[in-house]
Amino acid sequence: MTNYTLHERFVAARPKRILALDGGGIRGALTLGYLEHVEKLLQQRHQNPSLRLCDYFDLIGGTSTGSIIAGGLAIGMSVAEIKQRYSELGATIFGKTRLLHLFRQAKFDHAALEKGLQNTFGDICLGDDTLKTGICIFAKRVDTQSLWTLNNNPNFPYYDYDKKIKLWEAIRASAAAPTYFEPIDLEALSDGEELTVRGIFTDGGISPANNPALHLLMMTQVSKYGFNWKGTSDDLLVVSVGTGRSEIKYDKKKVSDWTTLNWASTIPNMMMADASDYNEIIMQLLSQSPTRRHYDSVMKDLSGELLGRTPLCTYLRYNFLMSASNFKDLGGLYANLDEDEIEDLTDFTKGKNVNQLYEIGKIVGEKEVNATHFPFVFDV
């Protein structure tokens, strides 16, 4: 196995590998279940039980809860180590709500989130050599309505600012879900501190990048971002892992009686789900993929469809549909879950579900993630 320096991750002329991690609150535990199987598969492939995902992937990007996982992987943690920290963090953050959150305050106390992130990442900055691989954290700057891609690529135009931002602060900005956590005020300094950039940041999921795979692909292909990675199915691998999809259906009679509050609480989730599906569809149309799925009655699974002449990458997407029929297929304790129990599992604020979601991710990971999905050309 080749050990790459951080600089080589960005500039070496060889096949590159990207890991993209969705946002989704406590349901990031399901992501970790998938990743445990990916880690195990790659350890077996390379005959190296000590291999970490940071050894394989050249760029790990995440949004919201995905940014927490991305940060852990980028500093060299194993999936098991992240799961332990994640469980502790989830229980602390989502364990107690504020009674007056609907009117005056965020639902959860951001102090617990910040303390947990500080304990995990300390004073590591985005420009530090402590990071084992490339990382990109997506956060939405509210005051300018712009999506920021906080990363550690020295060739990125704003690297002089990004490199001084503490990793925990970047993740805190990405995970500041509106109404759930207070937004964060970030300050970035250029070399020599000649210019200071301040902004109010909130959850990167309040953008099309809650599923960050498409944006990460774009960053490597648009020259202005400073990556300039070669884009073919043998040169670029994108592995995208979700936090589970909800099978949401609404009773027609109830919808017709919805109040303004009903609509206000439902529309954001609708838009985020649509944005994620749209990203997935575009990624499918730009790539060669063995994990394609049925999208709708018109497009079906997009077999044989391609937007360009040749694929830009090999694309793997893993995201469990949390439906009654799929839970039944899992068997065991999940075979007879009722609608209320399934709805409870899909709630991204239920810290009590962290271990159950992790186990679900492990089970579906073993079913869905196959060694044949990972072409040998991407071995390290």
pLDDT digits (tens, 9 = 90+) for 173-189: 888 655 444 556 666 54
Q: Which residue has the tokens 């946002």?
A: 23
Does the structure show a pLDDT above 80 at 98? no
What is the structure's pLDDT at 204? Answer: 57
The CA distance from 369 to 380, in Å, is 19
Closest CA to 27 of 175, 245, 179, 277: 245
Per cent of the chain over pLDDT 90 is 64
Where along the chain do its domains lie?
Answer: 6-378
DSSP 223: G
Closest CA to 182 of 101, 238, 118: 101
Mean pLDDT of the chain: 88
Contact 124, 131 (CB under 8 A): yes
pLDDT digits (tens, 9 = 90+) for 287-344: 999 999 998 889 999 999 999 999 999 999 999 999 999 999 999 889 999 989 999 9
Distances (CA, A) of 312 to 159, 171, 224, 257, 377: 26, 29, 18, 46, 15
Contact 197, 6 (CB under 8 A): no
Does the structure show a pLDDT above 50 at 33? yes
- Three-class secondary structure assignment of 5-22: CHHHHHHCCCCEEEEEEC
Who wins on pLDDT, 40 or 105?
Answer: 40
Q: Is 371 helix (H, G, I), strand (E, B) or coil?
A: helix
The mean pLDDT value for 232-260 works out to 92
Which residue(s) pair with 140 in the sheet? 147, 202
Per cent of the chain over pLDDT 70 is 87
- The CATH number for 6-378, chosen from 3.60.60.10, 3.30.1490.20, 3.30.460.10, 3.40.1090.10, is 3.40.1090.10
Does the structure show a pLDDT above 80 at 239? yes
pLDDT digits (tens, 9 = 90+) for 105-160: 445 566 888 889 999 999 999 999 999 999 999 998 877 788 899 999 999 999 98
The mean pLDDT value for 226-235 works out to 98
Who wins on pLDDT, 195 or 339?
Answer: 339
What is the structure's pLDDT at 101? Answer: 44
What is the structure's pLDDT at 185? Answer: 62
Q: Is 214 helix (H, G, I), strand (E, B) or coil?
A: helix
What is the structure's pLDDT at 65? Answer: 93
Who wins on pLDDT, 310 or 273?
Answer: 310
The mean pLDDT value for 91-98 works out to 59
The mean pLDDT value for 49-72 works out to 97
